[in-house]
Amino acid sequence: RKQKGSTLQIVIKMARLALALALLVGSAYGFVRVPTMPKAMRMMSQLDMARESVMAGNWKMNPDSLEEAVALAKSVADASEASPGASAVFVPFPYLGPVGDALKGSKVGLGAQDCYTEAKGAFTGAVSMGMLKSSGVTHCLAGHSERRTVFGEDDEIIAKKVRTILDAGLVCILCVGELKEEYELGLNKEICAIQLAKCLTDVTEEEL
């Protein structure tokens, strides 16, 4: 048993080293144009002391009806009056307009769960930043775990979405995180650092 445990620890350490080297070497030779992992973590550590806390709720593919969505939005708006800091709700596309109306006059931001990187064109099912802004959206998610695992979005696509959201003048909430298997191997910090570095490729420290 001791031998198996020792072997697992060696595998974990090798995996961590491989991830770090993949990021650092790729960046150095131009295969991956990203800030180094230490820089990414340093940037986020510095910002921890200065940024405002945000309480945000992602409704995912809920609720079932527009009536329920509006009622929930009104409840959130009422509850937000007694809560400190900023807040936002990320609602399904069909509910954006009515929920936005229900949130008017409150301090709750209206958020979209996703966006597309093109402004217009033959992209069936996609939603542009112009459409979102005209609907009153102030926040937008990028890189949610379900967009990664269910819809196959990688860090390159997510980085483009981050840039698109920021260029439109909206607040971007970038989601990062490891899979269950990666967590069990103790790779959560390395995975998050790599995702941060790759998804923030074109983002300046000032924009963070």
pLDDT of residue 52: 74
What does the radius of gyration of the chain's CA atoms come to, in whole angstroms? 20
**β-pair partners for 56:** 88
- Report the DSSP pairing between strands 171-174 and 108-112: unpaired
| pLDDT one-digit tens code per residue, 118-168 | 999 999 999 999 999 999 999 999 999 999 999 999 999 999 999 999 999
Please identify which residue in the block is written with the tokens 């940037």: 43
pLDDT of residue 208: 81
Residue 7 has pLDDT above 70, yes or no: no
Residue 91 has pLDDT above 50, yes or no: yes
pLDDT of residue 30: 38
Residue 6 has pLDDT above 60, yes or no: no
Q: Which of 24-33, 63-72, 172-181 has the lowest mean pLDDT?
A: 24-33
110 vs 152: CA distance, rounded Å: 26
What residue ranges in 42-91 does DSSP mark as E strands?
54-58, 86-91
Q: How confident is the model at residue 186 (pLDDT cuts 50, 70, 90)?
A: very high
Cis peptide before 63 (omega within 30 of 0): yes
Q: What type of residue is 100?
A: G
pLDDT of residue 34: 43
- Using DSSP's 3-state secondary structure scheme, residue 90 falls into strand
Q: What is the mean pLDDT of the chain?
A: 84
Give the predicted TM-score (pTM) of the model.
0.76
pLDDT of residue 23: 47
pLDDT of residue 39: 54
The stretch 39-63 carries a mean pLDDT of 74
Q: Which of 19-23, 30-34, 137-141 has the lowest mean pLDDT?
A: 30-34
Sheet holding 86-91, edge to edge: 54-58, 86-91, 108-112, 139-142, 171-174
Q: Which residues contact 185 (CB under 8 A, 6 or more apart)?
A: 11, 12, 15
Residue 93 has pLDDT above 60, yes or no: yes
CA neighbor of 178 nearest in space, from 19, 9, 4, 18: 19
